[in-house]
């Protein structure tokens, strides 16, 4: 199975390059599953139903969220009728939506997609390790799903790497999201799970994590907020990770970085080039 996971889409620049490039990537790379983290897609904060539908129409099979899941209040309502929109699984009981969903890939495979938030330097949600362990025990790789993908949305690299080793051999792919800077540690762990600490953002990299530079810089210099953060609107770069899995085991065979667009050095998985 060929999987593409696209990193945190930030604002109009991120949405534009997804719309421009994703349909061609699905065709040219013969992708079976496309996942997008969309929690910053609406003006940098949250997601709307219209934007969610844009991603699905462009070729995404599911969209994950994170700590900005509810910044657009309409998401609290439309997530209940959007089974392909997946919020962190360790939100408190009674939170709208679901943190795990069985998604049908383009090739008909059954893929369990999960989203969880870390707790270091983040909101103190329920323990993600315990909840993910429960999900993996309830729906094991190959007996319950043909592939399993986890988006772990958190600040600390140590927490992301720990989760990677925790699910190694039980998931096809674990990606870290949230910090908006792609890391170079993509690898297949000893048990066969593809892993990367952070897949980076999809947006304008002439920015501070996707935002216009002036306000973040001003806050660091003066410690006084003067304006709200606004997404940078220059040409976007699409960042993500590409993975091929073994149809028999569901584990990863190959992994490669994806960087396409304006500023960062281009990267394409050699096995898809």
Which residues have CB under 8 Å from 222's CB, separation 6+?
none
Tokens for 208, please give them: 């501070």
pLDDT (tens digit per residue) in 109-134: 999 999 999 999 998 899 999 999 99
Q: State the CATH architecture for 2-261.
A: 4-Layer Sandwich (3.60)
What does the pLDDT read at residue 225? 84
Q: What angle, 0 to 180 degrees and rounded to 10, lies between the N-to-C axes of helices 11-28 and 49-58?
A: 20
Question: Mean pLDDT over all residues of the chain?
Answer: 96
What does the pLDDT read at residue 104? 97
The answer on pLDDT for 94 being more than 90 is yes
pLDDT (tens digit per residue) in 27-83: 999 999 999 999 999 999 999 999 999 999 999 999 999 999 999 999 999 999 999
* Phi, psi of 37, rounded to the nearest 5 degrees: -85, 120
Detail the DSSP E strand segments found in the chain: 2-6, 33-37, 62-64, 85-86, 100-104, 110-117, 147-153, 173-177, 187-188, 194-196, 237-245, 252-261
What does the pLDDT read at residue 7? 95
Active site residues: 68
Rounded to an integer, what distance in angstroms lies between the CA atom of residue 190 and that of residue 167?
Answer: 11
Find tokens 């091929």 and name the residue. Answer: 244
Query: Given strand 110-117, what is the order of strands in its sheet?
Result: 100-104, 110-117, 147-153, 173-177, 194-196, 187-188
Rounded to an integer, what distance in angstroms lies between the CA atom of residue 176 and that of residue 156?
Answer: 10
pLDDT (tens digit per residue) in 125-164: 999 999 999 999 999 999 999 999 999 999 999 999 999 9
């Amino acid at each position: 199975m060929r999987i593409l996971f696209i990193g945190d889409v930030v604002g109009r620049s991120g949405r534009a390059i997804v719309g421009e490039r994703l349909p061609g990537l699905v065709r040219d790379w013969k992708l079976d599953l496309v996942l997008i983290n969309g929690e910053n897609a609406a003006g940098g904060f949250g997601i709307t139903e219209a934007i969610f539908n844009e991603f699905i129409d462009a070729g995404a099979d599911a969209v994950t969220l994170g700590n900005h899941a509810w910044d657009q209040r309409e998401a609290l309502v439309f997530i209940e009728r959007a089974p392909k929109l997946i919020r962190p699984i360790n939100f408190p009981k009674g939170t709208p939506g679901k943190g795990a969903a069985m998604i049908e890939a383009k090739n008909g495979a059954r893929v369990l997609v999960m989203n969880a938030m870390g707790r270091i330097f983040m909101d103190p949600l329920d323990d993600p390790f315990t909840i993910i362990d429960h999900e993996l025990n309830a729906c094991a790789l190959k007996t319950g799903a043909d592939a399993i993908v986890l988006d772990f949305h958190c600040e600390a690299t140590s927490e992301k790497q720990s989760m990677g080793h925790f699910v190694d051999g039980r998931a096809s792919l674990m990606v870290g999201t949230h910090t908006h800077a792609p890391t170079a540690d993509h690898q297949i762990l000893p048990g066969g799970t593809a892993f990367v600490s952070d897949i980076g953002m999809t947006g304008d990299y002439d920015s501070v994590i996707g935002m216009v530079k002036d306000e973040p810089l001003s806050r660091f210099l003066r410690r006084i907020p003067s304006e709200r953060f606004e997404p940078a609107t220059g040409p976007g770069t699409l960042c993500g990770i590409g993975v091929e899995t073994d149809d028999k085991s569901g584990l990863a065979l190959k992994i490669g970085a994806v960087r396409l667009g304006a500023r960062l050095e281009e990267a394409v998985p050699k096995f898809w080039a």
